[in-house]
Each structure stands twice: as C-alpha cells, then as structure tokens.
A and B are shown apart, each in its own frame.
Chain A
C-alpha cells in the first residue's frame, strides 16, 4: 500500500457520493455503464493529475481484486 493515497473518508457525505455514482450508471446496459465508469476514472484522474498517485491507486485496485 502506498502513502500517497488517503485512507480516511475524504467525502463530507460518503453515502450521498455513493448514491450519485450509482445513479450515474442506473438504467444503462453493462457496456454503457462500463463506458461511463471509464469516463469517470479519466475525468477524476485528470483532476488529480499526479501520475504517482494514479499509479498507486492502480496498484491497490489490481492487488485487491480476486482473480
């Protein structure tokens, strides 16, 4: 795990953000939903900018996914 990534909750209202993410993909088929999720990652990643942070996030996301 990397020290570059924040571990505590960064959202003021986590449940509201989670709901917004789910609403963003509701009513879509799997392929459309995947594209929306990819766009979200690109937009948020661009906002972060720092490639080291993005690399750290990729490492965590891959390592904690089974299979």
Chain B
C-alpha cells in the first residue's frame, strides 16, 4: 500500500517451547484484532495478566472497520488510545443522502452541548490495531504472541487447554478462561463446533479505498440508485491519509474475482468521480455479509466477543463498535470473578446483555439492508416512494434507512438493574459524557468530563455533599467491591472529590433533587437511582449488579487477591 507500511511483529519463542516453566494462565485471548487487544489492555487495567495468541504477524490487512463511534472512543480513551485515534482520524458528523442524481437531505449527528468526543471519527482499522498493539506493549501484564495459531482445544469445567502451533513447533497452554476474539472466521468457534443463527444476504459489494486529493467535505455521502451505479447503492467516506472509502453495491450475480481486478474497478470509480479527479487504488475487496450471531456468547469457560460472536452488515458501523462494547461489558465482570469477589454467574449476564445488544444491532442492520437492497418489485416501490417523498415530507425522511448508525445498547431489562429508579435516566442507560467542573480533594477546581470521574469501578453520584455525609456514603469506597463517591455541589468543597454544578446542568440532565443518588457500574451504565441517599440501598444495588444475593452489612475482610 502507498499510504501505510505494515508492521511485522517478531515471533518469539514462547516459554513453553524454551523448556521454561509455563504456569497456568488466568486468561488466554485468541485473536489480536481490536477486540482481543482491547480485552487484554482492559484486563491489565484491572491488574489481571493475559496471554494473547494471534496466527498472523501484522495488523488488519485492509481498512475494514473505519467508523469509530462516540461510545467506542470513550472506551478507547480508558484504554489509552483515543487521543492518537482522534489525532489521526477524520472527525465527521454530517451525512448526505442522494437518490438518483438529486441530493435528498442531510442529517447531523452532533449532540447539543460541549462534547469530549464527536459522534464518529473515521480511521482505517490498521491504525487502530497498531495503536492498540503499542499500548499493549507498555503493559507487563500482557504476553502478546504473534504467529501462535490455536489448532485444538479441550474445554473442561474449570478451564481450557489450548494447543498452539508456531513456526518452532506446537505446545499446549492451560488457561482458566478463554476469550475468543478471533473474528468472523473464528477458529475457536469451529473447534467448539458452534453454528450461527441468522441471515446470509445474497448480494455483493465492492470496497475500494482510493487515494485522492479531492475537495469533498468530511461527510458520509450515500446514494440510492445513482447514475454511476444504476439500481444499486453507493457510499463515499473520508479516511486518514487522503484515503477515501468507496462502497459500491454490485448485485448477487457479480463475479467477485472479476470485479476486484483493477481494470474493472478503475472504470467504476471513474464513472462515480468523473474524469477530472486523479486517484490511485489503495485496497479493494468484494464482500458479502451476514446478519447473525451465536446462540450463546458464553460456553463454560470460553467467552466469545466481537465478530467471533456476532456479525452484521457494514451499514450502520455496528461491527467493531459493538465488539468494543462487548469488551466494555465483559472485562469488569471477568475481573471480579477472577478476584473471587463475584460468582461465576456474573458472566452469564455478559451473555444476556450482549446477546440483547447483538440482536438490536442485527435488527437495525437487517432493516437497513432490506431498505438499501429491496428484494422484489413491490418492496422497491415502497423504497422509491419513501425516497421521493423524503424531500418535502419529514416523516418519510425518518423512514429512509441508509444505515442506523451505531449507538450504545441500553440494558433496560438487565438482571443487574435494581428496581430502584429515579429521575430522567433509566437503569441500563450508559452515562452521558457531560462537561463538568470538578475538584479533587485538596486540589483547585478544573474542567473535566463526567466519564473520567466515573472511571472503571462502581461509582455513586450523590447530589449534595451534606446528604452524602449524613447518609454515611463516605464508607463506600472502602468496601470489598469499592464504590467511588462523587458529590455534586453548587459550590466548592475542599474535603472530598466534588463536581461543581453551579448552573444546575447536571441536575437537570439526571432529573436530580437534593440528596438524589445514581449508581453506575464499572462500564458506566446506570444500575439504580434513588430520590435520597441510603447507604444500604446502594450496597444492595451494587450486590445485585455483581450477582451477589447477599443483603445487609458489608463484610470487613476483602476477598483474597
């Protein structure tokens, strides 16, 4: 490729093949793509060692996932790579929809108010992986092994034995837990013998990444039935390095081997861009897609995440983004189980919550695909009628579906939510990243972001310093499963970490009254809320969120670490 040089990561003789002691691993992660790497880095943040096995020795060949959503950037910020991605990536928020040779309408994804991260950035997947690999390299807790291919596995009730093939021979590795993040063609899935449930779409699409200096705006442009690709769809999207993603629907009858030849790709792109724009081909691929998932994401000690667990069409950017939300959901639970602070059953809620999220993604992705590629003349008539009405009739614009872009799942029905609810934010909802003025104990106030303060532990937001103190919430950070205490106040208070909400903005967003409390899980989803502070209610809700049925007093001894 012209704009990117692929790193080659060296194979190193694993201790198992060097005659050294090779202890049983707590976690083995199969696949060093964005999901596997994120899982390893997140585990390291919880102080948990992992070994990551990848059959290749470089990053993603091809740009693949390019749209990184706000929630993903928030997660990647916690993992330490969001700044680099923001710097390199292309920030965008506007989409334009065309029908035939007409621009129909445009939409704006920006939320009101000051935002730390935009709705989306575009960045080639290989950059994201490169940054994650470098970040993983800084963590002594991560043992990243290239050209280590899992070829067999033996699942037991308390662990998994993996057989790994390398250029220097094969070895076996025992792990308490395995995270299968080895992509759509997951080897682990094959070895366990699991099938997908869902739909395969009979359609083919051409992806062409082209290098060009064009003055197109940084926007997502989508065409239904454009003159340059009649009866099919098209998408144009900017990436880093003056690389543009072009996605052209070809139809099921297209011959994939013919269509990816440059002599066929170049004329297609010229028809789209016109003769005046010079471009070079960077990467091409002809793909089909599926909207499907495994029935269960947890199989004993094996946990499936990302494309290994579920797949969607590219319309909506719900692939890599949902995989990173899998990680966000899984790792804090796995860390608590590994530390002996939560029962094994907590990991069943990973399955419940992320299957729910996968179904939401699959539903949205399937609907988009059915709109973009009508299956018969009558559904085509509905589609074109909607598009023709869209210019003058706002209701029709809302029905036009060129991809419902990735939003984080809200776990409304989660067993981890408590019945206690109060205010404007329902349990299961991810916390919005609001701009806040904050003061750590003994420090001067500064501007920051709410999610930075929540961090990756349980945290309770209490509106009122005095309310928190008189209810005894100050003891919560010392629990075996600590709950950080964040007090919201109108003025500064030097004694505790506080959020200074002088204008009452935070209180309005949460629908809070003096004394209201909001409990967040380590993945920053709300799990319960109360009109007034009650320390035992907060502890019960925390216990429910880790599948501990125990009620009442907090034991004083922390579990062994």
Contact = CB atoms under 8 A, between A and B. Distances in A.
A25 interface: yes
A22 B395 contact: no
Contacts of A6: 395
A44 B374 CA distance: 24
B377 interface: yes
Interface residues of A, number: 24
B401 interface: yes
A21 interface: yes
B394 interface: yes
A19 B378 contact: no
B388 A65 contact: yes
A19 B401 CA distance: 11
B378 A10 contact: no
B404 A7 contact: no
Contacts of B376: 25-26, 28, 30, 33
A18 B401 contact: yes
A22 B392 contact: no
Contacts of A66: 388
Contacts of A9: 394-395, 398-399
Contacts of A14: 395, 398-399
Interface string A1-40: 1000011111000110011011001101010011011000
Interface in B328-383: 364, 367, 370-371, 374-379, 381-382
B395 A10 contact: yes
**Interface SS of B by simple majority:** helix
B393 interface: yes
B170 interface: no
A64 B401 contact: no
Nearest to B393: A7
Range of interface residues on B (Cβ < 8 Å): 20 to 34
Interface in A28-67: 28, 30, 33-34, 36-37, 60, 64-66
A15 B382 contact: no
Contacts of A21: 382
B304 to A, nearest CB: 27
Nearest to B364: A15
Contact of A18 (B367, B392, B394): B367
Contacts of A36: 378
A14 B368 CA distance: 12
Contacts of A60: 389, 393
A6 to B, nearest CB: 7
A64 B395 contact: no
A64 B393 CA distance: 11
A66 to B, nearest CB: 7
Given A18-B371, A28-B376, A34-B378, A1 B392 contact: yes
Contact of B367 (A1, A10, A15, A26): A15
Nearest to B392: A1
Contacts of B370: 19, 22
B395 A7 contact: yes
A30 to B, nearest CB: 5
A9 B381 CA distance: 20
A11 B382 CA distance: 16
A22 B393 contact: no
A5 B133 CA distance: 56
A22 B388 contact: no
B376 to A, nearest CB: 7
- Max chain B CB contacts within 10 Å: which of A34, A37, A64? A64
A18 B378 contact: no
A9 B394 CA distance: 7
Contacts of A37: 378, 381
Given A25-B379, A30-B378, A15 B395 contact: no
A60 B390 CA distance: 12
B367 to A, nearest CB: 5
Given A14-B399, A15-B367, A64 B389 contact: yes
Contacts of B395: 6-10, 14
Nearest to A33: B378
A18 B375 contact: no
Enumerate the 8 nearest inter-chain pairs by beta-carbon distance, A residue then B residue, closest first.
A33-B378, A25-B378, A9-B398, A9-B395, A30-B377, A22-B379, A14-B399, A14-B398
Interface of B: 364, 367, 370-371, 374-379, 381-382, 385-386, 388-389, 392-395, 398-399, 401, 404
Interface of A: 1, 6-10, 14-15, 18-19, 21-22, 25-26, 28, 30, 33-34, 36-37, 60, 64-66
28 contacts: A1-B392, A6-B395, A7-B393, A7-B395, A8-B394, A9-B395, A14-B395, A14-B398, A15-B364, A15-B401, A18-B371, A18-B382, A18-B399, A18-B401, A19-B367, A22-B374, A22-B382, A25-B379, A25-B382, A26-B379, A28-B376, A30-B378, A34-B378, A36-B378, A37-B378, A60-B393, A64-B388, A64-B392
